[in-house]
Amino acid sequence: MKTLRRAVYTSILTFLPFVTQASTIASSMVPITESAQSFSTTIGVPQPYFGVTLDVIAKGDYGKQRGETFVFKLDDSEILNWQWDTGPQTIENYEDFDYTLSGTVFIDQTIWDAVATDGMVNISWINGEDVEPFSTRGGEDYVSWTLSGNTSPVPVPAAIWLFGSGLIGLIGVARRKKCQLA
């Protein structure tokens, strides 16, 4: 049993160097201070990113009216379009009109490659025409977002080879143990 446990730990430790951590590409937090507020910035993307994600929190007047929406874009590609009832996670802060919309969006690699080909990405968001600042009800209104990604793709063929060799090692240990018991 001790040898089997050692083989499992060795397989895991061998696999760990191939796990990459996402780094922050850009982030921002902007208070909502006016009706139908929008935000836009352009960032430089000097290297390719893979597995790009967008974490968003939009807290404000996202009630049940039709014009109370939140739209996020990369260049001209609409990444999300939320209303009070369509955000991945929605929390009601105050009565029927102050909500926090939050969630993580995984950006399709073809979309990311298309918007980042020139090394620049325009990031923008806009609140719908009926989203108004009500900072005294339910707390301050704001939009916070973080764009993250890996700077190198996970080497899947090498990872599979290592995982497979670890499994073969485990099978060998199990066979040896079975022979010793017999």
Angle at 120 between CA 116 and CA 125, to 5 degrees: 90
pLDDT, tens digit (0-9, with 9 covering 90-100), for 50-60: 999 999 988 88
Q: Which residue has the higher pLDDT, 73 or 133?
A: 73
Quick one: pLDDT at residue 157? 64
Residues 53 and 83 in one domain: yes
CA dihedral 13, 19, 20, 22 (to 10 degrees): -110
Residues 6+ apart with CB under 8 A from 166: 7, 8, 10, 11, 14, 15
CA dihedral 153, 108, 161, 165 (to 10 degrees): 110
Residues 71 and 135 in one domain: yes
What is the rounded average pLDDT for all residues in the chain? 79
Residues 26 and 90 in one domain: yes
Q: Which residue has the higher pLDDT, 86 or 131?
A: 131
Residues 7 and 67 in one domain: no
Residues 167 and 149 in one domain: no
pLDDT, tens digit (0-9, with 9 covering 90-100), for 144-153: 999 999 887 6
> Residue 81 pLDDT > 50, yes or no?
yes
Quick one: pLDDT at residue 16? 46
Q: Which residue has the higher pLDDT, 100 or 121?
A: 121
Judged by DSSP in three states, 163 sits in helix
Which pair of structure tokens corresponds to residue 111? 């979309």
Residues 4 and 30 in one domain: no
Residues 12 and 99 in one domain: no
Residues 101 and 13 in one domain: no
Strand order in the sheet with 120-127: 38-44, 120-127, 70-74, 77-82
The residue among 18, 59, 86 whose CA lies nearest residue 144 is: 59
Residues 144 and 85 in one domain: yes
Residues 104 and 169 in one domain: no
Mean pLDDT: which of 31-35, 118-122, 173-177 is highest?
Answer: 118-122
Residues 70 and 148 in one domain: yes
Which pair of structure tokens corresponds to residue 23? 């780094």
pLDDT, tens digit (0-9, with 9 covering 90-100), for 4-36: 555 445 555 444 444 556 789 999 999 988 888
Quick one: pLDDT at residue 21? 66
Residues 58 and 87 in one domain: yes
Confidence of residue 120 (pLDDT cuts 50, 70, 90): very high
The residue among 166, 85, 87, 84 whose CA lies nearest residue 130 is: 84
Q: Is the pTM of this model over 0.95?
A: no
CATH number of the domain where residue 57 is located = 2.60.120
Average pLDDT over residues 142-166: 77
> Residue 175 pLDDT > 90, yes or no?
no
Domain span holding position 78: 22-153
Q: Into how many domains does the chain fold?
A: 2
* Amino acid symbol at 135: S
